[in-house]
Structure 1
Amino acid sequence: MRALVMEKGEDGLAKARVGEVSEDLLPVGDVTVRVEFSTLNYKDGLCLSANGGGLVRNYPHVPGIDFAGVVEASTDARYAPGDRVVLTGWRVGEVHWGGYAEKARVKADWLVPLPDGISARQAMAVGTAGFTSMLAVMALEDHGLTPEKGEVLVTGAAGGVGSVAVAILARLGYQVAAVTGRPETADYLTSLGASRIVAREELAETVKRPLETETWAGCVDAVGGAMLARVLGQMKYGASVAAVGLAGGAALPATVVPFLLRGVNLLGIDSVMRPYEDRVRAWGRIASDLPMDKLEAMIRPAGLSDLPELGAAILKGGVQGRVVVDVTR
């Protein structure tokens, strides 16, 4: 099978090689999947780096934390040859061989049946980023967010998670304010449904006041750090922030005042170990609530040989939208 394999050189650093690999090297698992498409996430960029980003434990290693394809063989009664499936998370592509190959073998518990109406290519345009976006929107809704309550802020809006969040929220009737530090992405974000663009500089500065004017009815935050702290002080009474990333840093220089005086909720969104039932619900919502024409506008096609360069770019914030990887290229 053809694959991208990370191998350690004599200098102790990992390098990518695209070529043929024996299927006998596939790990133990219940289901063998003929992979059609994979994608590129921030974690993939780390796994493609010379030190594996601290995520890869053993070499040789096949990265790719997401994949979609067709079941080729299964020892689990839930899946049969020909079934269409998708996988995100479960540390596949990190500690377990992932989707940057023409075949993958995984535990049946890690797979989700691909909903009707979503192709493998579209599923990977969604990927972990879009799946996480939908989980964030669902969490905000579960905590009372509705379109009539006001504007919803999306930080890091031009990235993978942010792009899909903007498209989903706009489709559901929300007024979306999209935060970006790249002015050239404004037209792209508007095309996804953003009603206005907020320059990153407007929110990047930490202020001494723990509370500012109540502005946002909800927020999907992919940045963290000082920006998240600032946004918490701008949320409306009882509003929620769904935290999905830390592109701006893991530290949170905030106070508890927004939680105590405005009843603000900070909702942590994990997509890696999410239970099966939540995954099925989220993919069902993706099938119904993500406009596929908007999804198509996010796609940047790539092959396996493109991934080392793209992996380095995504770590620097240089990738817009969603990279969809044809593993046969």
Structure 2
Amino acid sequence: MEKFIVAELNMTGAEHLSFNTCILEKLHKKNKIRKIYCSALHYQYFPNTLKKIPMDNVKVIDGKSRRFFSKLCIEIYNVFRMLLRPHKKYLFLSVFPPVLCLLAFLNIIFRKRITVFLHGELNGLRELNNNITSYAFWVKLYFKSGLYKYIENIVVGEHIKKGISEVHYINPDELKYINHPIVPMFSNKEKDIDCASIGYANGKAYDELFESISKLDKPFIHIGMVSNVLYEKYKSSCIKFHAMPGNALSYDRYLSLISRTKYGIFMYAHDYSFTTSGAMLDAMSNNTVILTIANTFAAYLDSIDYPVVSFDSSEKLFEQIDNLPDYDDLLKKHNPIIARKRFSELSSDRVL
């Protein structure tokens, strides 16, 4: 059986950690991985079970970086370095959109079996920004040119298929679809944190949330990374940050905190029509009720009967933070176990 060369050349640190570790663990259990190519900074966050897999350290500029041309050059170098090896099967956990086009073009020459996961870059399909340094330019080029037909594409999110089908230059049946894998429930016996915000705290939405929370002056925590600006502004308030600016929590610490939380607040600026929230799924795996501004992915979770409370605006969410429905009543009304089962029916086991 030919094993995969697995690569994460686009993300580093704790970026995409839940998704990557779940996929890697499934493949590792089936003995399907020959080697992992990723940054040492990303590798250090892996659970110990995955550190038994051979790893090749590569330089990776983080996915949020604005250094477009530096990131492009480094990732192109890493792609060539991998494809010139005498292997046949490659799995890319995520790909910088300009490199996505190059990867497909190169495969016309190399004729390898290349599989890529498509994540939030698909939002570019509906963006109007066509600057050459934008994700939208390269994602549209990838599909409009037909390059996507030369490698296997796996879209992360069943709910995204509807949006894809409305893009006239894509044949949705030529793509595969899976739901983001769900991490196992963290072993924790009590829910002693009433409410917490979850994710990367940065920008206006989280600033408004923290300002509203600080006025209530009730104990509150943030689970995840935080920008230096927001940390300095609210570090003396009632809000406790479990990670310092620029640092991520260890994976176990992150999941442990979520598992103790009854209500998780997600302040996202887009509607998730073309992407999935890994952080919401970490909440889902631990029976944490999701509080969010109405979006497509939250509506999908609600449709499979997971407890989600959506609001039309951030103002309405802020108004209800101190008057939330009873946690136990919500879990009786909905069934998280059945919801997780429904969600997992379309998993990576079917395509890898």
TM-score (norm 1): 0.35
Larger helix fraction of residues: 2
Report which structure shows greater RCO (CA 8 Å, sep ≥6).
1
